[in-house]
Every structure is written in C-alpha cells, then in structure tokens.
Structure 1
Amino acid sequence: MSEKQTAGRDNLGEFAPKFAELNDDVLFGEVWSRENELSPRDRSMITVSALISGGNFEQLTAHVHRAKANGVSKEELAEMITHLAFYVGWPKAWSAFKIAKEIYQ
C-alpha cells in the first residue's frame, strides 16, 4: 500500500493518540503493506466482507472505495454482497448494496 494513512491522526489524534497511531502505522502501515502474504485486493475483499458481516456501515464506505481502487470490480463486489446475504442477513446486504451502488456508479 503506497499511500500513507492519516485517518486515525486526522480524526482521533488529539483524543486517542495511541489508537490513531495503531490505526495509521500498524494496521494500515504494516499489516496492509504485507503484499507477499495477501494482495491489497484480497485484503479489501476480506475487510469489506468483515465490515458487512458486523454491520459496520460507517467504515464500509471508505473500504469500498479502497476495494475499487485495489481492483475489485463492481460485479465482484455485487457477488460478494449477494453471497454474504445468506450468511449475515438480508438487511445488511441491502445496506451494503446502497453504499456499493453509490460508489460504483
């Protein structure tokens, strides 16, 4: 992952500096950069699936943008959400489709 993540520091740097550091430097700096283990595309697919499963739609928008940038096609994302609907619930799938549709249009 080539771009440096600053969302943690931008949003929580003063309030929760350690969390911001872990978010930006460890999660997005170290873990996401381990491309020999998993590609950014695969990490995006896993992350989007986990966020949908947990109903974490506030974070989903940014990660669907990242998934698109990492090469996940509209068709692949639609298939992921359709598949997940049977395991995590129809309402979560509807919510995820609303976000995905806005990003991929």
Structure 2
Amino acid sequence: MTDEEPTRSAPPEAHAVSPRFAEYTDRLLFGEVWQRPGLSMRDKSMLTCSVLIALNRSQYLSFHARRALDNGLSPRELSEIVTQLAVYCGWPMASAAVSELAPVYAERGIGAEDVAPEPVPPLDADPGMELRRKAVLDASIGAVSPDLARYSNELLFGDLWLHPELAPRDRSLVTLAAIWAMGLQPLLDYQYRRAFDNGVTRDEISDALVHCAFYVGWPRAMAAAMVAREVLVGDDGEDHA
C-alpha cells in the first residue's frame, strides 16, 4: 500500500460506517490495485464488469460500465460480454445487466448501430481441437443430457465463441472471471487451457487473479489459483506452460 494521500472513491457512507473499509477502497483498491502494471485499465474494467454480472451485482455495474467505456472498452465489446455471460451465468444475470447498461448507453449517445454485430464472417475454429472437445462432451455430458451436449457444441462453441465482436483472448478472460466469481472450480481446468490456446499468458492469468480477488473474495481467488497451478505445473512438479 502506498503512503500518498489517496483520491476518495469510497462513498461518504463507507467512511461513516466502516472507516478502514473506506480507506482500503480509496488507498488499496483504487489507489494501488487498479494502478498495478500488467493488465491494461481496459482489461481490468472488462474483468470487473464480468464479475459484477456473474455475481448479479448489477447495481454496481453502471459505475463500472462508465469506467470501462472511459478505459477503452467499446460499447460493442461490453454488449458482447453480456451475451457471453448470458450463456455462462444465465439469462437473469444478463437481463439485469441490460437494465443497468441501458441508461449508460443512452447518456453516452450509444445507439443500435454502435452495438450491432460486426458485418464480417465468424472466426475459424481449429478443426482438431473442436473434434476432441465434441468427443469429450458427447461422452460425458451427452450420456446424461444429449441436448445439453448438443447446445454446448452448436450454440456455445460452434457459434458464440466464434463471433468477432469480442476477441477470443477477451472471451477467455471474461469467462474465467465469471467462473472464478461463481466458484466453479471443476470447469477451470478446461478454461485455463482454452485461455492459453487463445493467447492469454500466464502473467495475465496471475494479474487477473490479483485484480479479481478484490471483487470475488479471497477464498474463490485462492481456489482458482490452485487449479491454475495444477494446469501450469501439475503433480509432477514440471512446468507445463
């Protein structure tokens, strides 16, 4: 923590009710964590908005949406995050996010043309990777719910992940932030590996865990870090990155 006088970001009621929490908010969260090198301010805003949607904390989303737009996240990218997380977190979470984002878009003069899908073809999927993933899904989830496996293959991986409105690297970070927030460790092994395939670096994972820890809480961040270690190092102690 720095010794410089922090800019006040915590609301007045925080200073009145819990001065140390307010101090941590001003000096640590916004004065230090948000200023750390590594991830860009855009990436930090993207992660924060993703966590808020996943946790259904939409009442804080308008503040961070404004920051995200100021930090370089485009309206189309922010809109696509909502779509990505509708599938990963559920329609109610995305609907709540839409209600909070609509006034922000209106005040910024963001229109339908600014968030419309890009008029370009979808991204190409790696045929070998997709065949392997489909085989695993069909053999596991398909044995219990064939239609869930079908929607996973066709909607999630065969459509959503291939839309160019959000780069694959960003989709991976958004998805990881949401899974961290929901505490769904069994899904992380695959998503870490997919993130590395999509160009996310181990340093970016490290920095994203630090940032998100302050929004998802330490237990969930620590659990996510433990799974990351298993993917990166493994039980044999060898670096697998």
CA distance in 2, matches of 1:82, 1:73: 14
**Alignment match of 1:20 (pick from 9, 19, 22):** 22
Residues 45, 71 of structure 2: 8 Å contact kept: yes
Q: Give the structure with higher Rg (CA).
A: 2
1:19 and 1:48 mapped to 2: Cα distance?
21
Contact 1:47–1:63, Cα closer than 8 Å, also in 2: yes
| Distance in structure 2 (CA, Å) of the matches to 1:12 and 1:96 | 24
Deviation string 1:9-36 (CA, Å, 9 cap, x unpaired) is: 52311210000000111011000001x2
Q: How does 1:52-67 map to 2 (within 5 A)?
A: 52-67=53-68
Normalised TM-score (structure 1): 0.89
| Cα offset, 1:104, TM superposition | 1.7
Output aligned runs, 1:36-75, within 5 Å.
36-75=37-76
Cα RMSD (Å): 1.3
Matched residue, 1:78:
79
**Percent of pairs identical after alignment?**
42
Q: How far is the alpha carbon of 1:97 from its aligned partner?
A: 1.3
Cα distance in 1 between the residues matched to 2:38 and 2:15: 30
Aligned AA (1:78): S
Q: Check if 1:7 corresponds to 2:6.
A: no
TM-aligned CA deviation for residue 96 of structure 1: 0.5
Instruction: Name the structure 1 match of 2:90.
Output: 89
Preserved CA contact (<8 Å) 1:12 1:20: yes
Q: Secondary structure at the match of 1:7?
A: coil
Gaps of 5+ in 2: 1-5, 107-241
Aligned residue pairs, count: 101
Q: Which amino acid aligns with 2:51?
A: A
Q: Which runs of 4+ in 1 moved over 3 A?
A: none
- 3-state DSSP class of the match of 1:14? helix
User: Is the Cα contact below 8 Å between 1:9 and 1:17 reproduced in 2?
Assistant: no
Partner of 1:29: 31
C-alpha change, 1:48 and 1:80, in structure 2 (3 Å) is same
2:110 maps to none
Q: TM-score, normalised to structure 2's length?
A: 0.40
Tell me which residue corresponds to 2:167: none
Does the 8 Å CA contact 2:49/2:65 hold for their aligned counterparts? yes
Letter in 2 for 1:79: E
Partner of 1:100: 101
CA offset at residue 5 of structure 1? Answer: 4.4
